[in-house]
Each structure stands twice: as structure tokens, then as C-alpha cells.
Structure 1
Amino acid sequence: MRALVHDPSQPRGLRFADVPTPEPAPSQALVEVHAISLNFGEVAFLPELRRPGEVPGWDAAGVVVRAAADGSGPKEGARVATFAPSGAWAELRAVDTADIGAVPGSVDLGAASTVPVAGVTALRALRALGPVVGRRVLVTGASGGVGRYAVQLAHRAGAHVVAAVGSAARGEGLREIGADEVVVGLDGVKEPVFGVLENVGGAQLAQALSLVERGGSVQSIGMASREPSTIDFEQERRRAGNRRVEVFVVGRSFGADIAYLASLLGRGELDPQIGLRGGWERAEEAAQALLDRRVAGKAVLELRREGR
């Protein structure tokens, strides 16, 4: 089968190759991939995450062509979105049924491919903050894939959403999906926040912590800045106690959350915020666009269209 594999000699570390068809374990389904979505982390840290010749990719949506031998999960012909630590960027992938979620017939599979990492990360990080109804929630890196899902889900949960972006242009469209305030950087945040969904890292992580009120937390989700974070804890002790920085890890068993988010897409209650879309031959272009911050939301690449 055809796949994108990691090749350190290439400009973006990717090339097309023929690779063996995966052989599913008893608890895995074999999925024909129709669309994939790229995530900043898997692109930015590709050399650290993948060996030469390995098929990268976390997110894929498609159709089950072989159900799991143990009887778990969706049946043959089911439309699904999937997560796994690798193997998405190929014509077929084998996936644990615990990480497969059903996709309603009304939802385009390209849109569904944006859900597993970005959508589930935003959902679970928001849950980790605790109840947010009527509380101020800050989302940093709000213009990215996780950020745009986080803005929508926090608004849906009843929060007052403050969306922080790197430039005014990157903030376009955020009010329309639920942001109550849009700020460039964090200097414009004038009131404390209950919680932070922090996607940038670096110096911004420490600045975000300084904005958290007593009893609140920062969920450290990502490191889009690609810079280490330094926090002066003595200064933070003087400012106020009983605030937390938590290293957020999304965990496993994505299936139920994928299905929930896909159902919201199907009812028009959630927008996938696709900023770039095309055939998977545009993988290098899409990867570079993500790294250059030229994609607002998600980058989706199609391998095939339904009915073809």
C-alpha cells in the first residue's frame, strides 16, 4: 500500500513509499483511510518521534474494511474517526477498537479527521479544569487546531472565554465561534482567570500562571513556541497560593469522546475549523504551513473521496 514515511533526507522529513499492509491484532479493526489531519506537534517533532521509514500520523477518518476479530468495535462498512500513536498517513491502518469513534452519515470524513487529537485534547483538558460555568477561561494558542476546539467547547460549557493569539490576523473568526475576548499576547488580559488551556509553552506558560486566581489551574497542553518554560515559584508564592500547573496528558481510549464530538459536528453544534484542505500529495506544503503559522485551525489532507 502507499504511505507517507519519515525520511530525514527530505526537506520536511516525508516521502511517499510502498509499505506492507498492516495486519490487525484481534482487538483492532482495519480502516481504509479517506482523510487525515495534521497536528503541529507531530510535524514539529517528527525527527524525535519517528524512525526513518516509519509511517507517522495520529488522526485518520475512513471506513472499516475488516472488523476486529474479537468482535469489539464497529462492523465492516462503518464510517469512523480513529486515533493511534502512528500509522495514520497510509491507505490502510490497523487501530485498537477502543480508539475508534463512529461518524454520523451527515459528517464529512475530512471534518471527522480533525476530531481525535485536537478535539479530544481540548475536551479532556477542559474537563481537567473542573466546572467552568460562569468562570473566566483563558485559551492560549487559540488560533490552532486544539485552540479553536477549546474555545468552542469552553463557550459551550458556559465559560467566559478569553482567546489569546500571536497576532490580530490569527484571531480572526474566534469571536464567531465563542470567544468573549480576543487578545494578542497576554498583556491585554486585565482580570484573573479560573483556568488556562495553555498550548504555547515557553515564557507564556509562566505569564499564564500569574493570571490564575486562587483555586484555579493551568493545563499545560503543548509547546507551540518550541521553547522551554521557566517559572519563578518564589514570586508565585508571594502572589497567591493554591494554584496549579498540571502537565496535561490526553491518555487513551479515545473512542467514546471521538463519537461524542463527531455527533456535535453532525448536529452543527461544533465547527472543525479547517484552514487548509487538499490531496495528500500536499503533505509537505501543509506541514510547512503549520510550522509557519499560516493555518488557522486544522490542516486536512484527503486520500480518497467517498464513493470513489
Structure 2
Amino acid sequence: MRALVYDPEAAHGVRFAEVEEPEPRASEALIEVEAASLNFGELAFAARQLLPGEIFGKDAAGVVVRAAADGSGPPEGTRVASFAGTGGWAERRAVDTANLAAVPAAIDPGVAGALPAAGVTALQVVRRLGPVLGRRVLVTGASGGVGRFVVQLAAQAGAHVVASVGRPERAEGLTSLGAAEILVGSARPADPVFGVVDNVGGKLLAEAFGRLEEGGVALSVGWASREPTVIDFEEERMRGVRKRLEPFTVTAPFGADLGYLIGLLERGRLDPQIGWRGPWDQVGEAIDALLGRRVPGKAVLDLIPGH
């Protein structure tokens, strides 16, 4: 079958290859992939996550063509979205049934395929912040895939969302998603915040940590800046504010959270913010746009013609 694999010698480390068909374990369903989405982190840090020849792709949506042998999960013919570490950018994917969710017929596979990694990460990170009703939450890198989901989910949870973006054009649409304030470039919050969801790292994370109020928490989700974060903890002690900084990691199984997000999508309460979409033969264009910060939200590849 055809797939997109990691090749350190290829442009952006990605190339098409003919690979062996996946062999599902007893708890895995075999999916014919219709659409997949790209995530900044899996491309920017591919060398840390994949071996040469391994198939890219955390996110994929499609149809179950072989149900799990152990009887778990949906039957053959069910439309699903799936989230796993690798294997999504291929014509077929084997995925544990605990990490997929059924997709209603009314939802486009490309829309469903945009949800898994970014959406589940955003959902779990908002939960990790704790109660945010009436509290100020700063989201850095708010224009990206995870950021736009966090803005929506935190606002729905009652937070006063402060969205930070690198350039003015990157802020487009964030207010309609629920952002109460927009910060651009070097602008920083005038008032302290209860929570920080940081997708950037570097100096921005250090400054955001400094704006936390008593009992606040900063969650490091991404590292788009690729710059080290240096915090002067002696200065922080002098401020006398008790707070915490945590490297956030998403936790499996993902199926229940993915199902919850699909429910929000079905009820019109969630927008995956697809900023680029095209056939997977144009993956190079999609990667250039995503890494070049020209995609507001998600980039989606269609594997089946006509979608």
C-alpha cells in the first residue's frame, strides 16, 4: 500500500513509499483511511519520534474494513476517527479500538480527521488547568491547531481567554472562537492570569510563567519556538507567588475524549478550523504552509478522491 514515511534525506523528512499492509493485533481495527491531518510537532520533531521508514501520522479518519478480532470496538463499515502515535498517513491503518470513535454520517471525514491529536490534547490540557470559570487563561500560539481548540474549549468552560499570536493576521477568527483579548507579537498580559497553555516555549513561556497569579499553573504543551526556556527562579521567589510549571503530556486511551469532541462537533459547538485542505499528493505544499506559519488551525490531507 502507499504511505508517507519518514526519510531524513527527503524534504521535511517526508516521502511516499510502498509499504507492507498493516497486520492488526487482536484489539485493533483495520481502517481504510479517507483523510488525515498534519500536526506541527510530528513534522518539526520527526527525528525524535520516528525511525527511517516508519509511517507518519497521529490523526486519521475513515471506515473500518476489518473489526477487531477480540470483539471490541465498532463493526465493519463504521466510519471512525482515530488517534495513535504513527501510521495515519497511509491507505490503511491498524489502530487499537480504545483509541478511536465513531463518526456520524453527517460529518465530513476531513473534519473528523482534524480532531484527534490537537483536539484531544486541547481537551485534556483544559481539564488539567482545573476549574477556569471566571478566571483568566493565557493561550500562547493560539493560532495553531491546538491553540484554536484550547481557545474554544476554555471559553466554553467559562474562562476569560487571552490569545497570544505572533502576527496580526494570525489572530483572524480567534474572537469568534471565544477569545476575549488578543495579544500580538511581544505584547504581554497587563493583568495576572490563572492559567497558561503554552505552545511556543522559549522566552514567551518564561514571561508567561511570570504573569501567573497565586495558585496558578503554566502547562507547556508545545515548543514551536525551538528555543530554550530560561526562568530566574530567584526572581520568582522574590515575587512570593505560589504557582507551578508542568510539561504537559497527552494521556491514552483517547477514544472517549475523541468521542466527546465529535459530539461537540455534531452539535455545532466546535470548529476544527481547517486552514488548508487538499489531496495527499500535495503533502509538500501542506507541510511548507504549516511549518511556515501560513495555516490558521489545521491542515488536512484527503486520501480518497472527491473528498
Q: TM-score, normalised by structure 2?
A: 0.98
Amino acid at match of 1:65: V
Tell me the equivalent position of 1:24.
24
User: How far off its partner does 1:128 sit?
Assistant: 0.5
Distance in 2 of aligned mates of 1:295 and 1:187? 22
Q: Deviations over 1:222-272 (max 9, x none)?
A: 101111111111111111332000110001100001011011111111001
Within a 5 Å distance, the mapping from 1:73-222 to structure 2 comes to 73-185=73-185, 187-222=187-222
Tell me the equivalent position of 1:276.
276
Tell me the equivalent position of 2:233.
233
Contact 2:279/2:305 (CA < 8 Å) preserved in 1?
no
Tell me the equivalent position of 2:51.
51
Distance in 1 of aligned mates of 2:195 and 2:295? 26
User: How far off its partner does 1:280 sit?
Assistant: 0.4
Amino acid at match of 2:220: S
Distance in 2 of aligned mates of 1:82 and 1:59? 6
Tell me the equivalent position of 1:294.
294
Distance in 1 of aligned mates of 2:197 and 2:254? 19
User: How far off its partner does 1:305 sit?
Assistant: 5.1
Distance in 2 of aligned mates of 1:21 and 1:61? 17
RMSD between aligned residues:
1.2
CA 81–28 in structure 1, closer or farther in 2 if over 3 Å, else same = same
Size of the aligned set, in residue pairs, is: 307
Contact 1:277/1:300 (CA < 8 Å) preserved in 2?
yes
Amino acid at match of 1:41: G
Contact 1:186/1:207 (CA < 8 Å) preserved in 2?
no
Amino acid at match of 1:5: V
Contact 2:148/2:273 (CA < 8 Å) preserved in 1?
yes
User: How far off its partner does 1:36 sit?
Assistant: 0.5
User: How far off its partner does 1:65 sit?
Assistant: 0.6
Equivalent residue of 2:154, what SS?
helix
Distance in 2 of aligned mates of 1:261 and 1:305? 26
Tell me the equivalent position of 2:60.
60
Where structure 2 has 5 or more consecutive residues not aligned to the other structure, the ranges are none
Q: Deviations over 1:29-49 (max 9, x none)?
A: 001100000000001112222
User: How far off its partner does 1:282 sit?
Assistant: 1.2
Amino acid at match of 1:125: V
User: How far off its partner does 1:185 sit?
Assistant: 3.5
Equivalent residue of 2:299, what SS?
strand
Where structure 1 has 5 or more consecutive residues not aligned to the other structure, the ranges are none
Contact 1:166/1:185 (CA < 8 Å) preserved in 2?
yes
Equivalent residue of 1:162, what SS?
strand
Contact 1:164/1:186 (CA < 8 Å) preserved in 2?
no
Distance in 1 of aligned mates of 2:247 and 2:5? 30
Amino acid at match of 2:227: E
Contact 1:104/1:263 (CA < 8 Å) preserved in 2?
no
CA 104–186 in structure 1, closer or farther in 2 if over 3 Å, else same = farther
User: How far off its partner does 1:186 sit?
Assistant: 5.4
Residue 243 (structure 1) aligned with residue 248 (structure 2): no
Identical aligned residues as a percent: 61
- More divergent stretch after superposition (88-97 vs 187-196): 187-196
Q: TM-score, normalised by structure 1?
A: 0.97
Amino acid at match of 1:37: S
Contact 1:102/1:258 (CA < 8 Å) preserved in 2?
no
Runs of 4+ aligned structure 1 residues displaced above 2 Å come to: 185-188
Tell me the equivalent position of 2:2.
2
User: How far off its partner does 1:53 sit?
Assistant: 1.3
User: How far off its partner does 1:13 sit?
Assistant: 1.4
Distance in 2 of aligned mates of 1:249 and 1:186? 27
- More divergent stretch after superposition (181-190 vs 270-279): 181-190
Distance in 2 of aligned mates of 1:151 and 1:186? 19
